[in-house]
Amino acid sequence: MLLNVLILDPIKAIFEGKAKSVILPGEEGVFEILPFHKRILSRLVGGTIVLDERAIPIRRGIVKADQNAVTIILEEK
């Protein structure tokens, strides 16, 4: 099972596709979203988003996950 992932910055879509997991730098620490994760809305702090094997450095952002859809709005470093 895969996640539908959409990563946006204020100007463009950085990634739109499927992934096995997403690892995110949250305010309370790093966390991972897997398929069928419980609903979550969280702020993101500076760090790196790991999308399968791809790393995306960020300054800050927000993430919303619901069932198999993950939407991330961020500021890139």
Domains of the chain, first to last: 3-76 (2.60.15.10)
**For the segment 49-66, what is each residue's pLDDT rounded down to a tens digit?**
999 989 999 999 999 999
- Closest-CA residue to 46 (of 21, 30, 25, 32): 25
Report pLDDT for 67: 85
8 Å CB contact between 62 and 7 = no
pTM of the entire predicted model = 0.92
Return the number of other C-beta atoms located less than 10 Å from residue 45's C-beta.
16
- Residue 76 pLDDT exceeds 90: no
Report pLDDT for 29: 96
Q: DSSP string of 6-52?
A: EEE-SSSEEEEEEES-EEEEETTEEEEE-TTEEEEEEEE-SEEEEET
